[in-house]
Amino acid sequence: MSSSTENIVNIFIPCQMDQFQPDSAHSMRNVLESIGLHCQYFSELTCCGRRFMMEGNEEYALKLGSQIVDTMGSKTHIIVPDCSCAGFMKKYFKKILAQRHSTRELQDFTRNIFELCDYIVNIRKIEKLGNNFNHRVYYFKSCAARNLYPQNDAPETLLANTNGLVLLTSPNQPVCCGANGNFAMANPEVAEGLTGQIVEQAYQMGAEYITSTDIHCLQMIDAYKTAHNVDIEIMPIVDILQGEKPAEY
């Protein structure tokens, strides 16, 4: 990447964030701009295709994926505020789009895909953003963050270095939230039980907030805690990284 473009990044907003938590997309832009980056956003790119691929609509998933590659290109870093979408694009685009794009193009594209926390800590080498969040926060490390897009504890690093934040984690943390669409629909009681374990552990540890790098898990957890009237808030990690506004606001 040339010096004239090294501070320009493309941002990709997952469809579930775009539809249900659009303010978090603005938080992402604010966080990246706070470390000196200029963000480019393409409003026509609304979905990575992961959910369609999981549900068997392969042709539409490939259409969406190919559109992302064509639009964003392979020369600029692409930042995604969700480990599931970032992991799907980084791990599977080279295989599923092989008939539509050259090997070199797909290699360069997937090399430039990064989950937000991983990008800040491991690419930009920034471990402290100067953000403030004076609350007890339980971090849920989703199965996607463990397997699909392992982040080498980048989220925990940024949370631990947030002013005023008390980070709550557990070596015995549940490993799945049950949010996989097909699994949750076919096994609603099992999925609810998995989600409930996360909420119960966070509540017992005295958490005020549950956060994650997985927007799909957070929405599943939010639905559970609302249905069961649990006094705990859900917040995407990007909103915490943006920090709380000063009191006068």
Q: Are residues 142 and 113 in the same domain?
A: no
**Residue 1 lies inside a defined structural domain of this protein:** no
* Tens digits of residue pLDDT in 45-96: 989 988 888 878 889 999 999 999 999 987 899 999 999 999 999 999 999 9
Could you say which of 95, 123, 151 is where a domain stops?
A: 123
∠ CA 219-171-84, rounded to 5°:
35
Residue 42's closest CA among 6, 79, 7? 79
**Residue 2 lies inside a defined structural domain of this protein:** no
**pTM reported for the whole predicted model:** 0.91
Q: Are residues 110 and 140 in the same domain?
A: no
Could you say which of 123, 154, 178 is where a domain stops?
A: 123
**Residue 247 lies inside a defined structural domain of this protein:** no
Distance separating alpha carbons of residues 171 and 235, to the nearest angstrom: 22
Q: Residue 231's domain spans which residues?
A: 136-242
Q: Are residues 111 and 61 in the same domain?
A: yes
Q: For residue 245, what pLDDT band results from cuts at 50, 70 and 90?
A: low
Higher local confidence (pLDDT), 137 or 246:
137
Q: What is the pLDDT of residue 74?
A: 79
What is the average per-residue pLDDT within 133-145?
A: 95
Q: How many residues does the chain have?
A: 249
Q: Are residues 98 and 26 in the same domain?
A: yes
In angstroms, how far is the first alpha carbon of the chain from the final one? 39
| Number of separate domains in the chain | 2
**Residue 3 lies inside a defined structural domain of this protein:** no
Report whether pLDDT(248) > 70. Answer: no
Q: Are residues 207 and 232 in the same domain?
A: yes
DSSP string covering 120-174, please? IIIIS-------B--SEEEEP--HIIIIIS--TTHHHHHHHTSBT-EEE--TT--
